[in-house]
Amino acid sequence: MKARMSTTLDSELLRTFVVVANSGNVTRAAEQLGRTQSAISIQIKKLEETLGESIFQRGSRGVTLTTHGKKLMVNATKIIGLLDDTVATLRCTPLHGPVRIGIPEEYGDTILPRALAAFSNRHPEVEVTVKCGYSVEQLAAIGLDELDIAVVFEPGHPAKGEILYV
């Protein structure tokens, strides 16, 4: 199935490809995408023609990725993620102003730098102040209105306030 590779890839074809690959079945993918099986098959055929390679091995129980399909899957998920992040970034209301965060000390050197860098890239107009310390200190600071949000660990004690993740 060698052909000349097109210079552009359609992101909708990549989205369809990822759904088919994850479901392992064109019919299930069609149901998930709200399209007909034939429409999905046509999109996959168009993608294969664009790439000049087979990306699925068809069988009686569904489809599996070929070697080229596995390579495409890695990049397709990255591309779709970037496209979705771009839309989310452009659609969100820009945040601005100060925010005060409390976090356990053990995260200060590991998770915090990456999280702050990602947050800063998305919200450059926000001034973030971080206080590292023990949960009891963070809870006291919340109570004194010195922090806006805190990550705390209180095993066996229900936290006051809004729990975002347990």
- Which residues constitute the domain of residue 141? 97-150
User: What CATH number should be reported for the domain holding residue 83?
Assistant: 1.10.10.10
pLDDT at 28 over 80: yes
**47 shares its domain with 103:** no
Rounded to two decimals, the pTM is 0.57
CB 103 within 8 Å of CB 151: yes
What's the mean pLDDT when you consider all of the chain?
Answer: 87
Answer yes or no: do 102 and 145 share one domain: yes
Instruction: Quickly state the pLDDT bin for 123 (edges 50, 70, 90).
Output: confident
pLDDT at 21 over 90: yes
Are 23 and 82 within one domain?
yes
- For residue 79, give both structure tokens: 């591309």
Domain count for the chain, please give it. Answer: 2
Using the predicted structure, report yes or no on whether residue 23 has a pLDDT greater than 70: yes
Give residue 4's pLDDT. 54
**86 and 19 in a common domain:** yes
Mean pLDDT of 147-152: 87
pLDDT in tens, 72-114: 999 999 999 999 988 887 887 778 899 999 988 877 777 788 8
Core vs surface per residue 118-157: b (16+ CB within 10 A) or e: eeeeebeeeeeeeebbebebbbebbeeeebeebebeeeee
